[in-house]
Structure 1
């Protein structure tokens, strides 16, 4: 299966039997990102988190007592 990265527009070939290929075939909302772009984004995100100025919204705030 030929896929195109949504960020850098690089065209790659992946095996038809992989989980990524199945997700792309069955759910068109899923997009493909190449390994280079994925690594670059994760490294830059980690660097922003380490600066201390990045707000990471994964944790839910505690409930107010009212």
Structure 2
């Protein structure tokens, strides 16, 4: 299956019967991101988390549930 990265517009090939291909076929709202873009975003997010000025909204909800 040919897929296109939503960030860098590179075309990649993934196996037709992989779980990712099935997810992309059955749920059009899901998008594909190439491994290079995924790794770059992960690194930048971890750098923001290390500053202490950035927090995930999901973490705030979990903290409220604990009270």
Q: Tell me the TM-score normalised to structure 2 length.
A: 0.86
| Correspondence for 1:20 | 20
Report how many aligned residue pairs link the two structures.
Answer: 63
Corresponding residue to 1:62 among 57, 61, 64: 64
Structure 1: gaps spanning 5 or more residues? none
Aligned equivalents of 1:15, 1:56: Cα separation in 2: 33
After the TM superposition, list the runs of 4 or more consecutive aligned residues in structure 1 that deviate by more than 6 angstroms.
none
User: Per residue, is there more helix in 1 or in 2?
Assistant: 2
CA RMSD of aligned residues (A): 1.2
3-state SS of paired residue (1:53): coil
| Correspondence for 1:34 | 34
